[in-house]
Amino acid sequence: MRIPSFKQLEADQERERGVFYSYASAMHPNPYFYKYYWWVFWKCSPFEGHKFLNSLETRLTTKQAYELRNKLAAENLTCYIYNSSEPRLDPNNPFDPAAARWKNCQWAPAYDDDNDEPYKGFK
């Protein structure tokens, strides 16, 4: 995974205007299973590096991330896209919160309890 850097972004922008580089994992097709958080690094990001990737300030919802990515593509601006996922705590999901696999897991709210605006069915 490429750590976000303004210097590298500038070089990528000069080489291939408007290209987005995805360092995001594929999304599960069932939006009720996982919640995704996104980081879109571009020339107007407030900072770079691990600070950017670990910041709640730069974390976006699915809708915010896709809207920003589409805006940047329309303006031919290069960006890097990252994401993380959390299983949703919903009794209808196949996850057993007591299982060892989920011992130190951060759980997302159930889809119906999630207040984020949907984007193509994902919140």
Successive 10-residue mean pLDDT values, the chain, 123 residues: 94 89 94 97 97 97 97 96 96 92 95 97 96
Task: Tell me if 123 is assigned to some domain.
Answer: no
Task: Tell me if 121 is assigned to some domain.
Answer: no
Task: Tell me if 15 is assigned to some domain.
Answer: yes
pLDDT confidence of residue 78: 95
| Nearest-angstrom CA–CA distance, 98 and 95 | 9
| Domain total in the chain | 1
**CB atoms inside a 10 Å sphere around CB 7:** 8
Q: If DSSP codes are grouped into helix, strand and coil, which group holds residue 98?
A: coil
Task: Tell me if 117 is assigned to some domain.
Answer: no
| Nearest-angstrom CA–CA distance, 72 and 40 | 10
Which structural domain, as residue segments, surrounds residue 80? 6-108
Residue 109: name the closest of 40, 16, 51, 34 by CA.
Answer: 34
pLDDT confidence of residue 52: 98
Opening angle at CA 116, ends 45 and 37, nearest 5: 45
pLDDT confidence of residue 1: 83
pLDDT confidence of residue 19: 85
pTM above 0.95, yes or no: no
83: β partners:
38
Task: Tell me if 58 is assigned to some domain.
Answer: yes
Residue 60 is classified by DSSP as B
Task: Tell me if 119 is assigned to some domain.
Answer: no
pLDDT confidence of residue 96: 92
Residue 17 is classified by DSSP as T
Task: Tell me if 122 is assigned to some domain.
Answer: no
Task: Tell me if 26 is assigned to some domain.
Answer: yes
